[in-house]
Amino acid sequence: MTASEPIPGPTTLPRRRLLGAAGAGSAVLLTACGGQDEAGTAQPVAPSTPVDAGAVEDIPVGSAVKVDQEGVQAVVGRPDRDTVSAFSPVCPHQGCMVAPREKLYVCPCHSSQFDLATGDVLAGPAEAGLTPYPVMVQDGRIILG
Protein backbone atom coordinates (compact mmCIF):
# COMPACT_ATOMS: atom_id res chain seq x y z
CA MET A 1 0.00 0.00 0.00
CA THR A 2 1.34 3.46 -0.92
CA ALA A 3 0.68 6.75 0.82
CA SER A 4 -1.70 7.83 -1.96
CA GLU A 5 -3.94 4.73 -1.71
CA PRO A 6 -6.99 5.03 0.48
CA ILE A 7 -7.04 2.96 3.65
CA PRO A 8 -9.76 0.36 3.36
CA GLY A 9 -12.63 0.78 5.80
CA PRO A 10 -14.32 -1.92 7.82
CA THR A 11 -16.18 -4.53 5.84
CA THR A 12 -19.71 -5.30 6.90
CA LEU A 13 -20.93 -8.86 6.72
CA PRO A 14 -24.47 -9.96 7.26
CA ARG A 15 -24.85 -11.29 10.81
CA ARG A 16 -25.68 -14.86 9.71
CA ARG A 17 -22.67 -15.03 7.43
CA LEU A 18 -20.38 -13.72 10.17
CA LEU A 19 -21.70 -16.21 12.73
CA GLY A 20 -21.48 -19.03 10.18
CA ALA A 21 -17.86 -18.20 9.47
CA ALA A 22 -17.10 -18.02 13.19
CA GLY A 23 -18.83 -21.36 13.75
CA ALA A 24 -16.85 -23.01 10.97
CA GLY A 25 -13.60 -21.67 12.42
CA SER A 26 -14.56 -22.96 15.86
CA ALA A 27 -15.38 -26.38 14.43
CA VAL A 28 -11.97 -26.56 12.82
CA LEU A 29 -10.33 -25.46 16.06
CA LEU A 30 -12.29 -28.00 18.09
CA THR A 31 -11.48 -30.72 15.61
CA ALA A 32 -7.78 -29.90 15.85
CA CYS A 33 -7.92 -30.09 19.63
CA GLY A 34 -10.24 -33.10 19.61
CA GLY A 35 -7.49 -35.51 18.63
CA GLN A 36 -5.54 -34.41 21.67
CA ASP A 37 -8.51 -35.05 23.97
CA GLU A 38 -9.05 -38.47 22.43
CA ALA A 39 -5.36 -39.26 22.77
CA GLY A 40 -5.63 -38.31 26.45
CA THR A 41 -7.94 -41.27 27.00
CA ALA A 42 -5.30 -43.78 25.89
CA GLN A 43 -4.45 -46.18 28.66
CA PRO A 44 -1.36 -48.37 28.88
CA VAL A 45 -2.12 -52.02 28.25
CA ALA A 46 0.39 -54.19 30.08
CA PRO A 47 0.95 -57.67 28.73
CA SER A 48 -1.29 -60.24 30.42
CA THR A 49 0.78 -63.11 28.99
CA PRO A 50 4.46 -63.15 27.98
CA VAL A 51 5.14 -61.31 24.72
CA ASP A 52 8.33 -61.77 22.70
CA ALA A 53 9.54 -58.26 21.89
CA GLY A 54 12.52 -59.33 19.78
CA ALA A 55 16.20 -60.10 20.13
CA VAL A 56 18.36 -58.09 22.52
CA GLU A 57 21.08 -57.86 19.87
CA ASP A 58 18.65 -56.01 17.54
CA ILE A 59 18.60 -52.99 19.88
CA PRO A 60 21.89 -51.06 19.88
CA VAL A 61 23.15 -49.98 23.30
CA GLY A 62 21.84 -46.49 24.14
CA SER A 63 18.76 -46.78 21.95
CA ALA A 64 15.20 -48.09 22.00
CA VAL A 65 12.49 -49.41 19.71
CA LYS A 66 8.71 -49.35 19.59
CA VAL A 67 7.08 -52.74 19.90
CA ASP A 68 3.55 -53.66 18.81
CA GLN A 69 3.08 -57.40 19.38
CA GLU A 70 -0.05 -59.35 20.20
CA GLY A 71 -2.03 -56.20 21.03
CA VAL A 72 0.66 -54.89 23.39
CA GLN A 73 2.42 -51.63 22.59
CA ALA A 74 5.64 -50.79 24.38
CA VAL A 75 8.87 -48.90 24.07
CA VAL A 76 11.82 -51.15 24.84
CA GLY A 77 15.21 -49.66 25.58
CA ARG A 78 18.74 -50.87 26.07
CA PRO A 79 20.34 -48.12 28.14
CA ASP A 80 23.55 -50.13 28.59
CA ARG A 81 24.97 -53.48 27.52
CA ASP A 82 23.44 -55.43 30.42
CA THR A 83 20.12 -53.62 30.90
CA VAL A 84 16.81 -53.82 29.05
CA SER A 85 13.84 -51.67 30.07
CA ALA A 86 10.23 -51.56 28.86
CA PHE A 87 7.49 -48.97 29.30
CA SER A 88 4.06 -48.09 28.07
CA PRO A 89 4.46 -45.67 25.14
CA VAL A 90 1.54 -43.57 26.44
CA CYS A 91 2.71 -40.14 27.65
CA PRO A 92 1.13 -39.43 31.05
CA HIS A 93 0.65 -35.76 30.12
CA GLN A 94 -2.11 -36.11 27.51
CA GLY A 95 -1.86 -39.62 26.17
CA CYS A 96 0.20 -39.14 23.01
CA MET A 97 2.53 -41.96 22.03
CA VAL A 98 6.17 -41.33 22.87
CA ALA A 99 8.89 -42.14 20.37
CA PRO A 100 12.41 -43.43 20.99
CA ARG A 101 15.13 -40.88 20.39
CA GLU A 102 18.84 -41.04 21.11
CA LYS A 103 19.13 -42.13 24.75
CA LEU A 104 15.56 -41.07 25.70
CA TYR A 105 11.88 -41.12 24.82
CA VAL A 106 10.19 -37.96 23.51
CA CYS A 107 6.52 -37.08 23.32
CA PRO A 108 5.83 -35.56 19.89
CA CYS A 109 2.84 -33.56 21.17
CA HIS A 110 4.43 -31.35 23.83
CA SER A 111 8.09 -32.45 23.89
CA SER A 112 8.13 -34.15 27.29
CA GLN A 113 11.28 -36.25 27.63
CA PHE A 114 11.72 -39.49 29.54
CA ASP A 115 14.79 -41.41 30.69
CA LEU A 116 15.58 -44.50 28.61
CA ALA A 117 16.44 -46.66 31.65
CA THR A 118 13.91 -45.52 34.25
CA GLY A 119 11.07 -43.86 32.31
CA ASP A 120 11.38 -40.86 34.67
CA VAL A 121 10.51 -37.38 33.42
CA LEU A 122 13.57 -35.44 32.26
CA ALA A 123 11.63 -32.47 30.85
CA GLY A 124 7.94 -31.57 31.07
CA PRO A 125 5.14 -30.67 30.76
CA ALA A 126 4.56 -34.29 31.86
CA GLU A 127 4.73 -34.53 35.64
CA ALA A 128 4.86 -38.33 35.93
CA GLY A 129 7.08 -40.92 34.31
CA LEU A 130 6.16 -43.65 31.86
CA THR A 131 4.40 -46.75 33.19
CA PRO A 132 6.96 -49.57 33.49
CA TYR A 133 6.28 -53.03 32.08
CA PRO A 134 7.80 -56.22 33.48
CA VAL A 135 10.67 -57.30 31.21
CA MET A 136 13.30 -60.03 31.19
CA VAL A 137 15.83 -61.48 28.79
CA GLN A 138 15.53 -65.18 28.09
CA ASP A 139 17.83 -66.95 25.62
CA GLY A 140 18.72 -63.60 24.02
CA ARG A 141 15.04 -62.64 23.55
CA ILE A 142 13.26 -59.74 25.27
CA ILE A 143 10.14 -60.99 27.01
CA LEU A 144 7.48 -58.54 28.22
CA GLY A 145 5.07 -59.58 30.94
For residue 54, give the nearest of 79, 74, 29 by alpha carbon.
Answer: 74
What does the radius of gyration of the chain's CA atoms come to, in whole angstroms? 23
Q: Are 80 and 118 members of one domain?
A: yes
* Residue 18, domain extent: 14-43
Host H or E run for residue 67: strand 63-69
Within a domain: residue 2? no
Into how many domains does the chain fold? Answer: 2
Q: Are 30 and 71 members of one domain?
A: no
pLDDT, averaged per 10 consecutive residues of the chain (145 residues), comes to 45 41 36 36 71 93 91 92 93 90 91 94 91 94 92
**pTM tops 0.95, yes or no:** no
Within a domain: residue 37? yes
Separation of alpha carbons 104 and 106, rounded Å: 7
Within a domain: residue 7? no
Q: Are 61 and 104 members of one domain?
A: yes
Within a domain: residue 129? yes
Within a domain: residue 62? yes
pLDDT of residue 13: 40
Q: Are 38 and 70 members of one domain?
A: no
Within a domain: residue 84? yes
Return the ∠ at Cα 125 (arms to 73 and 123), rounded to 5°.
85
Q: Are 35 and 97 members of one domain?
A: no
